[in-house]
Amino acid sequence: MARSGVLYVHVAQAAAQLVAAGHNPTIDGIRAALGGTGSKSTIAPLLKRWKAAHPGTLAQAELGLPAELVLAVKGVYEKVQVEAALQLQNVVEAHQAETAALQEQLQQAFIEHDALLSVQEQQAQALAAATTHSQGLVDTVQRQEIVLAGLDSEKLGLGQRLADRAAEVAVLTQQLQQARVQFEHYQESVAQQRADERQNAEQRQQRQEHELAELRQRLLLQHTNLGELQAQERHLKQDNERLQSTLLMTQELFTQSRSAHEQVLLQLTELKQMHQALEQRHEHGAQSLAVTQTNLAVSERERALLAERLTQAETQLTELTTDKQILLQDNAVLSSQLSESRAKCDQP
């Protein structure tokens, strides 16, 4: 048998709680929410009346409240949504512009790196040509040493022609000295050229390292901006939670308005339209928030791609440093070979 105190307001409150919990309000559910009291024949018409007043939406939490309070809540909610949308749009546009600038600078760094590799290949070709020329000089010195050995043999076998051969040996010695002077001058020129090229390569490497440092700083700034966007998103969620808390408070106030039941029936239509408009604006704000989250995910992906390209640039810079060390080692080997050739020329 139904409890004498079961009224429409009790059924409406129980139905609103079930909908807020994600459940479909049924007669059995309402009866369970009321503590197992009230008969189905009493609850059924009241629940039908409530469903007719709330088609397809949540319970009207603000029913029975003054119109001024509803308009005030609606104005605060709309103002928060507009300000949040403008702030998110400004931040996203600034972030996109800065990301495009970073991509352009990174592309320029790749172009300069390719140019540096081309210069390195030219230096390698020049070094190969110098090595070939040096080998030709070594062969010339060896032939001259063979001539000197033949002259020594003739000196042992033909003593009577010593004076003539001595003159020839003096001429050949003078030519050899001139060849040595020319070879030393060429070696100094090559050394100076290698030193200049090495200095230029070091300067280019320093510039590229400076540009990489600037790229790291911009990536750090971009990460900071992303953190600010996430903080703004949390603030928006907090504002939404405060609005929901306000709606719950209005629901609690509704339970205290039993004495104004007759006025509730007169204001029901107007408050229902206002609530539907507020819900539409709330859905629009939720859609804007989802779009913002998508843009944040895209920005995070772009930042990951920039970090990956920066890692590749650092790897290429390391390879360039290794090639430079190999070039220096080859230059040292060439200098050692030239020293050995000079020592052989100095021998009698």
Domain boundaries, the chain: 1-59, 66-134+185-319
pLDDT at res. 45: 92
Q: Which has more confidence, 55 or 120?
A: 120
Which pairs with CB-CB distance under 8 Å and at least 24 residues apart come from 335-343?
A: 335/187, 335/191, 337/134, 337/138, 338/134, 338/183, 338/187, 341/137, 341/138, 341/141, 342/180, 342/183
Banded pLDDT at 56 (limits 50, 70, 90): low
pLDDT at res. 5: 63
Task: Tell me: pLDDT of 66 over 60.
Answer: no
Task: Tell me: pLDDT of 60 over 60.
Answer: no
Which pairs with CB-CB distance under 8 Å and at least 24 residues apart come from 255-262?
A: 255/9, 255/13, 257/64, 257/65, 258/7, 258/9, 260/64, 261/9
Give pLDDT tens digits for 271-297: 778 878 878 887 887 787 888 788 878
pLDDT at res. 348: 60
Average pLDDT over residues 174-188: 82
**CB contact set of 253 (below 8 Å; sequence gap of 6+):** 64, 65
Residue 239 Cα to chain centre, angstroms: 30
pLDDT at res. 257: 64
Q: Which amino acid is at 90?
A: N
Over pLDDT 90: what percentage of the chain? Answer: 5
Task: Tell me: pLDDT of 234 over 50.
Answer: yes
User: What H or E segment, with its residue span, contains residue 87?
Assistant: helix 67-157
Closest CA to 145 of 335, 338, 336, 346: 346
Give pLDDT tens digits for 326-340: 888 888 888 888 888
Give me the chain's average pLDDT, please.
80
CB-hemisphere CA count at 13 Å for 6? 23
Task: Tell me: pLDDT of 141 over 50.
Answer: yes
Are 277 and 182 within 8 A, CB to CB? no
**CB contact set of 102 (below 8 Å; sequence gap of 6+):** 215, 218, 219, 222, 306
Backbone angles phi, psi at 36, to 5 degrees: 80, 15
What Rg, from alpha-carbon coordinates, does the chain have? Answer: 46
Which pairs with CB-CB distance under 8 Å and at least 24 residues apart come from 233-240?
A: 233/289, 233/292, 233/293, 233/296, 235/84, 236/80, 236/84, 236/289, 239/80, 239/84, 240/285
Task: Give the torsion through C-alpha atoms of 287, 289, 295, 299, to 10 deg.
Answer: -160
Are 219 and 314 within 8 A, CB to CB? no
Task: Tell me: pLDDT of 89 over 70.
Answer: yes
Banded pLDDT at 62 (limits 50, 70, 90): very low
DSSP symbols for 132-197: HHHHHHHHHHHHHHHHHHHHHHHHHH-GGGHHHHHHHHHHHHHHHHHHHHHHHHHHHHHHHHHHHH
Question: Out of 51-65, 141-155, 243-257, which region has the weakest mean confidence (pLDDT)?
Answer: 51-65
Average pLDDT over residues 37-57: 83
Q: How far apart are CA 200 and CA 193, in angstroms?
A: 11
Q: Which two tokens stand for residue 164?
A: 């003539």
User: What H or E segment, with its residue span, contains residue 338?
Assistant: helix 261-346
Task: Tell me: pLDDT of 73 over 80.
Answer: no
Sign of CA dihedral 97, 100, 104, 109: positive
pLDDT at res. 77: 66
Sign of CA dihedral 110, 114, 117, 123: negative
Average pLDDT over residues 62-69: 46
Closest CA to 205 of 330, 331, 320: 320
Q: Which two tokens stand for residue 234?
A: 């949390």
